[in-house]
Structure 1
Amino acid sequence: MAAVAATFLAVSGQAGEQAFGPVTKLPMPRYVSIKAAEANARRGPSTEHRIDWVFQRRHLPVQITAEYGHWRRIRDQDGASGWVHYALLSGARFVTVTEDQAALRRGPADSAEVLARAELGVVARLGKCVPAWCEVKAGGYRGWIAKGEIWGVGAGEIRD
């Protein structure tokens, strides 16, 4: 099993060096979302492995931490991980609000007008990101939210 496990994740050798998946050659870890209404999280990368739980929330952001063939090991906001078939995942980016009553602002600044407040657990479509803020869309609202109040985007991630 140790020989197989070594192919799951390309590990960088230098500090600060980016790791890439051995199958997709995409950066690792990386954020994606659940595409399906239900996605089985398994103990290992095949249908022969036991299902540990079922994700039942479409667009839920998850982080890919390993790859093996058509399978991706994902981790959710709570740190739970499991193997999911790649067809159940999407590159569309969403985030989860991690603070209750998080302010959705007109611009990326604490001084910007508050347009709405998001409840803990709201899933929002991710747009642009600057160093400390991301633009999101949820429930008919579009605005900026502090990165510290969402999960599903890297702390240093910039998006145009």
Structure 2
Amino acid sequence: MNRPAFLLPLVALAFLAGQPARAANDDKVPYWASIDAEIANLRVGPGDSYRIDWVYRRPHLPVKVLRREGPWRLVEDPEGSKGWMRDLLLSRQRAAMVKDGSLIEMRAKGSSAAAMLWRVEPGVVGLLGECKEGWCPFDTDGHKGFVREEQLWGTGEP
């Protein structure tokens, strides 16, 4: 056996082991994210030199990431406003917001026959679990239950 040919797979393996691990979906847009800061600036362009267009003071507010440019993300908020935000201000933790309309019911289980726990107002933000069969686990300030998926902004395909 030729010694250099034998070492080639080992060298390739060592090279790959030294590469940083990346999740399969790291580069794919659009995707859902949430604001992960007490105060987050939305800018008109991808850089600190661009004017601040909006200041968010709602941790866990869901946003749709539309584009990536270096450490900057072009995001869309639940109202449809778009702008640029630093990636450090965002989390991949899923969140959702109750859509405009009337009060919605939060249930003990993912079923309309389950006990109603609370009524939740439009605009309320909460952490989102994995939605199944049209129902989503929803946690708003420790009030946990299930709500209909179509009543939330931040669910489904971005």
Query: Could you state the TM-score of these two structures normalised by the residue count of structure 2?
Result: 0.78
Deviation, 1:130, is: 0.6
Rounded to whole Å, the distance in 2 between the matches of 1:55 and 1:139 is 18
Q: Which runs of 5+ in 2 are unaligned?
A: 1-23
Paired residue for 1:15? none
Is it true that 1:146 corresponds to 2:148 in the alignment?
Answer: yes
Paired residue for 1:86? 87
User: Which structure is larger by alpha-carbon Rg, 1 or 2?
Assistant: 2
Identity %: 37
Alignment-mate amino acid for residue 80 of structure 1: S
Rounded to whole Å, the distance in 1 between the matches of 2:33 and 2:142 is 22
| Cα root mean square deviation, aligned | 1.9
Alignment-mate amino acid for residue 127 of structure 2: R
Deviation, 1:128, is: 2.4
Once the two structures are superposed, the pairs formed by residues 72-151 of structure 1 within 5 Å of their partners are 72-98=73-99, 99-151=101-153
CA deviation vs aligned residue, 1:64-91 (integer Å, no higher than 9, x gap): 0000000000000111000001011111
Rounded to whole Å, the distance in 2 between the matches of 1:40 and 1:140 is 27
SS at match of 1:148: helix
Paired residue for 2:11? none
Rounded to whole Å, the distance in 2 between the matches of 1:94 and 1:30 is 12
Deviation, 1:131, is: 3.4
Deviation, 1:53, is: 1.1
User: How many equivalent residue pairs?
Assistant: 134
Larger deviation, residues 56-65 vs 146-155 = 146-155
Rounded to whole Å, the distance in 1 between the matches of 2:38 and 2:92 is 16
Is it true that 1:33 corresponds to 2:37 in the alignment?
Answer: no
Paired residue for 2:6? none
Larger deviation, residues 85-94 vs 63-72 = 85-94
CA deviation vs aligned residue, 1:103-142 (integer Å, no higher than 9, x gap): 0012212222211111111111111211311011124321
Larger deviation, residues 49-58 vs 60-69 = 49-58
Alignment-mate amino acid for residue 82 of structure 2: S
Rounded to whole Å, the distance in 1 between the matches of 2:30 and 2:58 is 21
Is it true that 1:50 corresponds to 2:44 in the alignment?
Answer: no
Q: Which runs of 5+ in 1 are unaligned?
A: 1-19
Provide runs of 4+ in structure 1 moved above 2 Å. none
Paired residue for 1:16? none
